[in-house]
Amino acid sequence: MMGWLNIGSLVLGLIAWILPLVNLSYVNKQDNKNWAALSVMSLSACVIALSFQIFYNYHLVKIGDWSALMDTTGAVAIAAAVLIAGTLFFNTINLIVYRGTTAK
């Protein structure tokens, strides 16, 4: 059951990156008034993905699986940093592109 946290974290991390990229693909095609909502959804997906990893690490501590915890902590820390940096980068690009538009 707890293994689903890793899969959910991966899926939400991908969603956190895909939403701003999809949002950027609509720049020239139509007047996109949902860019702010999609950016908030992207940031929320990133936060939930990181929370899933924290809950999974807590599960490993609770069951005392120290070897799994020691083996995966470094990779999880790097992946979390990449996820945060990428999500902030893509959403900052969205903010720059859409900063002049307002939802009416």
The predicted-structure confidence for 39-49, as pLDDT tens digits, reads as follows: 999 999 999 99
**Residues with Cβ within 8 Å of residue 91, at least 6 apart in sequence:** 20, 39, 42, 43
**Across 5-30, average pLDDT:** 90
Weakest-pLDDT range from 29-33, 46-50, 86-90: 29-33
Return d(Cα 2, Cα 38) in angstroms, integer. 28
The predicted-structure confidence for 47-80, as pLDDT tens digits, reads as follows: 999 999 999 999 999 999 999 999 999 999 999 9
pLDDT at 85: 98
